[in-house]
Structure 1
Amino acid sequence: MCKPISARTIYEECGLTYASFRRNPEALLLYQQHSTFLKRERKRTRTACPDTVSPCDPLLAYKKPDLVARLRQAQARCAELETQHTTILADYVQKDVRIAELEAELARYREYFESLRLQVQQKEHGG
């Protein structure tokens, strides 16, 4: 008698759980190719909606290599943007440092002019 091939029958026959053969890519592929449950699901899915992709998510229409290419492009773009942001941030930090230096210099000039003004007032009133 031919038993259906499923995770349960594999466990009953040899004691391997699904988690055990899921970690081995070759064993998992073998299971996926010969599983009667998965074959039934694939057949039911094909008859329910033959060769159609859910219109909800357009990314489901892409093949894996296309998705990998898009992912790599997105990662490159993110790296490029991070570089740009780092450059812009460094520019802003340099500008902030320059502004702080100029404000400190302005404070010194104001202090100098205030002392000069006081000296002129003293000479006018006291001299």
Structure 2
Amino acid sequence: MKKNIFSIILIFVLLLFASCSATNNQNNSIEVPEKDTQISETKYSVTFIVSDFPEIPGKYIYLMGDFNNWIPGDAEYRLKKNNFGEWEITFDMPKGKTIEYKFNAGSYDNIEKDFFGDEVSPRSYKFNYDRDVVYHEIENW
């Protein structure tokens, strides 16, 4: 008789344990997407400032990149001179978006270069911070 009661209690405890274990597994099965691979619908603003630059061959400095099909002299991405004599542009992109870009003076002949006049690799920026300010220097055209 004692063996039967002990067996029944043991079976009951095992069933209770199995039930609790199954419930915990169900609650932990939610998958969370990685933040780095998601591009949000939220727009973040960035201001690019060119604080040091050689004499400009044209009238303005422009930004070009994968966001405008690398078109130099695009009026939508023309920088404006601020009160400190620097050139700046502010625009929005979706949070998490990464862009590649270069500065130009209005044409393919006047795209930023290094000190020795060699082509530079595109710059890169990821929209991780709202109202960010990024300073740049242009060595040559």
Please report the TM-score for the alignment, with normalisation by the length of structure 2: 0.30
Q: If each structure's helix is expressed as a fraction of its own residues, which one has the higher value?
A: 1
Higher RCO (C-alpha under 8 Å, 6+ residues apart): 2
Q: If each structure's strand is expressed as a fraction of its own residues, which one has the higher value?
A: 2
